[in-house]
């Protein structure tokens, strides 16, 4: 293993990985990761608007993972399965800007709904995303954790690019979901023409 450290280091450098984390998230760990991300961004990013966008996306991703894992751990303990609460977060900074990757196992039965949701968001322009956000905020029903589908819309708005995603089947009941939220290096307006509401 010790001989592989250089290779690992080399890979992380080549892929411009700012941060990578695997394991179970706790509220304390989320705070620590966000603190680390904020400090790293102070050095890597001059534009405050981009810094804030990256921070926001990382925060929403971590919260998504956290709530998803909690939900899954609860389901696992009641069904007798052991494996809940794991996930991966990777933040990379390259020529395309910042990429916030997350990955987690999820129930196969929930894949179709999530895929439809992501495709819907990817089919929306900035103004449509804004309207969708406002409608969901005003009319949406919310889970006890407060989610209710705003997180993905918010990420799509801040990204300004399509959400990249993948599903890899793990077994009959479980699928690994991966998401990349890419944030452009330069400041992009959330929507093209500013107008008063």
Partner 1 sequence: MNDILLEGSPKTPTVHFNSTTGLLELRGRSIPENSIEFYRPLIDWIDQYAQAPKAKTLLRVQLEYFNTSSSKCILDLFKKLEQVRNAGHAVEVHWHYEVDDEDMLEAGEDYQAIISLPFKMIQVEEVDDK
CA dihedral for 85, 19, 99, 44, sign (positive or negative): positive
Q: Is 158 in the site for partner 1 (CB under 8 A)?
A: yes
Q: Is 47 in the site for partner 1 (CB under 8 A)?
A: yes
Q: Is 127 in the site for partner 1 (CB under 8 A)?
A: no
Least distance CB 76 / partner 1 (angstroms): 20
Q: Is 67 in the site for partner 1 (CB under 8 A)?
A: yes
- Is residue 119 within 8 Å of 165, Cβ to Cβ? no
Tally: H helices and E strands in the chain: 6, 5
Q: 3-class DSSP state for residue 151?
A: helix
Q: Is 31 in the site for partner 1 (CB under 8 A)?
A: yes
Q: Cβ-count burial of 38 within 10 angstroms (0-12 exposed, 13-18 middle, 19+ buried)? A: middle
Stretch that binds partner 1, among 28-36, 81-89, 97-105, 170-178 (CB under 8 A): 28-36
Range 42-62 burial, b when 16+ CB lie within 10 A, else e: eeebeeeebbebbbbbbbbbb
The 76-115 site mask, x for binding partner 1 (CB under 8 A), equals: ----------------------------------------
Give the binding site for partner 1 (CB under 8 A): 27, 30-31, 34-35, 47-49, 52-53, 55-56, 59-60, 63, 66-67, 130, 133-134, 137-138, 140, 142, 144-148, 150-151, 153-154, 158, 187, 189-191, 196-197
């Amino acid at each position: 293993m010790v001989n592989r450290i250089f290779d690992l280091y080399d890979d992380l450098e080549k892929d411009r990985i700012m941060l990578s984390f695997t394991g179970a998230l706790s509220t304390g760990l989320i705070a620590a990761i966000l603190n680390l991300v904020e400090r790293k961004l102070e050095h890597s990013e001059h534009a405050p608007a981009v810094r804030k966008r990256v921070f926001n996306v990382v925060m929403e991703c971590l919260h998504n993972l956290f709530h998803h894992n909690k939900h899954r751990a609860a389901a696992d303990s009641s069904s007798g399965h052991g494996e809940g609460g794991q996930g991966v977060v990777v933040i990379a900074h390259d020529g395309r800007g910042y990429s916030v990757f997350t990955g987690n196992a999820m129930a196969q039965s929930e894949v179709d709904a999530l895929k439809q949701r992501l495709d819907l968001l990817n089919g929306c322009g900035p103004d449509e995303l804004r309207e969708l956000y406002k409608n969901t905020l005003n009319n949406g029903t919310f889970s006890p954790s407060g989610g209710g589908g705003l997180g993905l819309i918010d990420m799509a708005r801040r990204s300004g690019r399509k959400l990249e995603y993948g599903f890899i089947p793990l077994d009959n009941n479980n699928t690994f979901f991966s998401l990349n939220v890419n944030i452009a290096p330069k400041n992009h307006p959330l929507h093209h023409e500013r107008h008063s509401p």
